[in-house]
């Protein structure tokens, strides 16, 4: 365990030693990975969107039993039980609440009143301005290189526009995997980096080994952005399943979509009324069409098939483009240490150019 080598507004805000965030990946960012990240000095974030309320509380308690370091929970601001989940974070003293979509102003205020750092993920400068005005403590941006749901603008262009728009700490995600990336992000003015795929490919990740090996064999051209899974742009590995989805008509996808909706309902324990309520909230918050809402249940079910059950023939595998330059499976501690040490060296080297 190394000492703090780089201090930023983000490390000061959250109390972590290193300006590195392990992002909240559905089915991946569970207690084991979050604990590994937290004990290594980074900010681990539990992914709650694929957990029931009871599963989330159990996961929070498990992390707290395994580390005394700060950690976070990623929440869906538009979920039917978002308020109750915010109360759960308050009850258990979770340090950071991150959001995949902009939380409501009253949600931010309530969490902040109880000392919780609020960090929404945003995809445009105007969204950063909005949540900053509402009181968000920090924001995370993800450029188009990132995995999962992603936008078209690369990190190198999205990051400076957000930095110019707000004066709160900005975490840069999308395309980061080593110390050179951290040094570059800090040089831009970011307060740290977020990584998903890089943390998925660690020994602390619970993803099946055979699936990890598939990731490690993937090159820089091995991902694709498709809207055929859940109606929204989603970067994932270019598997045979994904290729077939790309070629299948909407009508032929209808049957499997309904089957996966039933599977998701069973796994989540949600009633039809709760599913419909979530769907209406999603439509309002994200502007999804009815067709996109119908496809939305595909995501958790198909991700679970690949990332939990290891069935690459029936599941999808979210991935950032960095998968093409990753070739090992370190522990979280070893990964964070080498990133921070390399970043400090690169920053010193760059400063030597100054007269």
CATH number at residue 127: 3.20.20.70
Q: Which two tokens stand for residue 318?
A: 């979210």
**Does one domain contain both 109 and 249?**
no
Q: Are both 22 and 85 inside the same structural domain?
A: yes
Please compute the mean of the pLDDT values over residues 10-21 and round it to a whole number. 98
**248 and 162, same domain (yes or no):** no
* 2 belongs to a structural domain: no
First to last CA, the chain: 35
Mean predicted confidence (pLDDT) in 113-133: 97
Residues 308 and 330 in one domain: no
Tell me, yes or no, whether 155 and 39 share the same domain. yes
pLDDT for 314-355, tens place per residue? 788 999 999 999 999 999 999 999 999 999 999 999 999 999
Note the pLDDT of residue 265. Answer: 46
Residues 146 and 242 in one domain: no
Mean of pLDDT values over 116-134: 97
Instruction: Please tell me whether residue 39 adopts helix, strand or coil conformation.
Output: helix
Q: Is the pLDDT of residue 121 over 90?
A: yes
Instruction: State whether the Cα torsion 162-164-165-170 is positive or negative.
Output: positive
> Residue 133 burial by CB count (10 A; 0-12/13-18/19+): exposed, middle or buried?
exposed
**Residues 286, 77 contacting (CB under 8 angstroms):** no
Instruction: Share the mean pLDDT of the chain.
Output: 89
Same domain flag for 160 and 287:
no
Quote the CA–CA distance of 34 and 115 in Å, as a whole number.
Answer: 20
Residue 241 lies in a domain: yes
Predicted pLDDT of residue 231: 79
Q: pTM for this structure?
A: 0.88
Q: Taking residues 44-69, what's their average pLDDT?
A: 97
- The answer to whether residues 264 and 175 belong to one domain is no
The pLDDT assigned to 285 comes to 52
Residue 167: what pLDDT?
A: 98
DSSP string, 148-168: EE--SS-HHHHHHHHHHH--S
Residue 276, in any domain of the structure? yes
Q: What percent of the chain has pLDDT over 90?
A: 76
| Cβ-Cβ contacts under 8 Å for 349 (sequence gap 6 or more) | none
Q: Specify the pLDDT at position 101.
A: 85
Q: Does any domain span residue 78?
A: yes
Q: Is the pLDDT of residue 47 over 70?
A: yes
| Mean pLDDT computed over 185-190 | 98
The pLDDT value recorded for residue 296 is: 60
User: In which element (H, E) is residue 172 found?
Assistant: strand 170-173
Closest CA to 189 of 10, 328, 3, 311: 10
Per the CB < 8 A criterion, the answer to whether 147 and 197 are in contact is yes
Domain match, 106 and 181 both: yes
Residue 3 lies in a domain: no
Task: Indicate whether 199 pLDDT > 90.
Answer: yes
User: What is the pLDDT, as a whole number, of residue 314?
Assistant: 74
Contact (CB, 8 A) for 103 and 78? no
Contact 32, 204 (CB under 8 A): yes
161-165, 192-196, 227-231, 291-295: segment of lowest average pLDDT: 291-295
Give the model's pLDDT for residue 130. 97
180 and 307 fall within a common domain: no
Query: Mean of the pLDDT values across residues 114-135?
Result: 97
3-state SS assignment for residue 225 = strand
Give Dmax over CA atoms of the chain in angstroms: 66
Q: Is residue 131 part of a domain?
A: yes
How far, in Å, CA of 127 to CA of 132, rounded? 8
Q: What is the mean pLDDT of residues 63-69?
A: 98
Q: Is the pLDDT reported for residue 104 higher than 80?
A: yes
Quote the pLDDT of residue 277.
55
Average pLDDT for residues 195-222, to the nearest whole number? Answer: 97
The boundaries of the domain holding residue 334 are 9-206+326-351
Structural domain includes residue 336: yes
What does the pLDDT read at residue 305?
Answer: 85
Q: Specify whether 282 is located in the same domain as 141.
A: no
Are 23 and 50 found together in one domain? Answer: yes
Name the pLDDT band for 229 (thresholds 50, 70, 90).
confident
pLDDT digits (tens, 9 = 90+) for 126-171: 999 999 999 999 999 999 999 999 999 999 999 999 999 999 999 9
| DSSP 8-state secondary structure symbol assigned to residue 222 | -
Residue 213 lies in a domain: no
| pLDDT, tens digit, 9 for 90 and up, residues 239-285 | 988 888 777 645 454 455 445 455 544 555 555 455 455 555 554 55
pLDDT of residue 253: 46
pLDDT at site 279: 53
Measuring CA to CA, which residue among 311, 226, 297 is closest to residue 256? 297
Q: What percent helix, strand, coil does the chain show, rounded to 5?
A: 50, 15, 40
Give how many domains the chain has, as a whole number: 2
Q: Is the pLDDT of residue 295 over 60?
A: no
**CA distances, 261 to each of 46, 47, 256, 264, 276 (Å):** 24, 20, 9, 5, 12
**Cα 334 → chain centroid:** 21
């Amino acid at each position: 365990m190394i000492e703090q080598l780089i201090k930023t507004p983000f490390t000061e805000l959250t109390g972590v030693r290193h300006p590195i965030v392990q992002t909240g990946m559905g089915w991946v960012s569970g207690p084991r990975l979050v604990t590994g990240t937290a004990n290594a000095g980074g900010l681990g974030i539990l992914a709650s969107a694929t957990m029931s309320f009871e599963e989330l509380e159990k996961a929070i308690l498990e992390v707290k039993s395994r580390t005394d370091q700060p950690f976070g929970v990623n929440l869906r601001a538009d979920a039917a039980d978002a308020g109750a989940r915010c109360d759960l974070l308050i009850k258990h003293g979770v340090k950071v609440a991150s959001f995949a979509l902009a939380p409501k102003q009253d949600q931010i205020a309530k969490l902040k009143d109880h000392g919780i750092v609020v960090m929404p993920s945003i995809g445009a400068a105007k969204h950063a301005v909005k949540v900053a005005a509402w009181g968000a403590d920090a924001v995370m941006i993800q450029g188009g290189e990132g995995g999962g749901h992603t936008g078209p603008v690369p990190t190198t262009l999205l990051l400076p526009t957000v930095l110019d728009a707000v004066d709160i700490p900005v975490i840069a995600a999308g395309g980061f995997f080593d110390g050179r990336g951290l040094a570059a992000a800090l040089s831009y003015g970011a307060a740290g980096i977020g990584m998903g795929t890089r943390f998925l490919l660690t020994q602390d990740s619970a993803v099946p080994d055979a699936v990890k090996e598939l990731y490690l064999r993937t090159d820089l051209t091995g991902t694709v952005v498709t809207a055929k899974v859940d109606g929204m742009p989603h970067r994932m590995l270019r598997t045979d399943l994904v290729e077939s989805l790309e070629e299948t008509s909407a009508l032929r996808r209808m049957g499997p979509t309904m089957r996966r909706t039933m599977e998701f309902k069973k796994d989540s324990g949600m009633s039809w009324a709760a599913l419909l309520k979530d769907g209406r909230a999603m439509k309002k918050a994200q502007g999804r069409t009815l067709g996109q809402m119908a496809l939305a249940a595909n995501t958790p079910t198909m991700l679970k098939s690949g990332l939990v059950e290891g069935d690459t023939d029936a599941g999808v595998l979210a991935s950032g483009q960095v998968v093409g330059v990753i070739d090992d499976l370190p522990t979280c501690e070893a990964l964070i240490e080498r990133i921070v040490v390399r970043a400090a060296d690169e920053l010193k080297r760059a400063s030597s150019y100054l007269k």
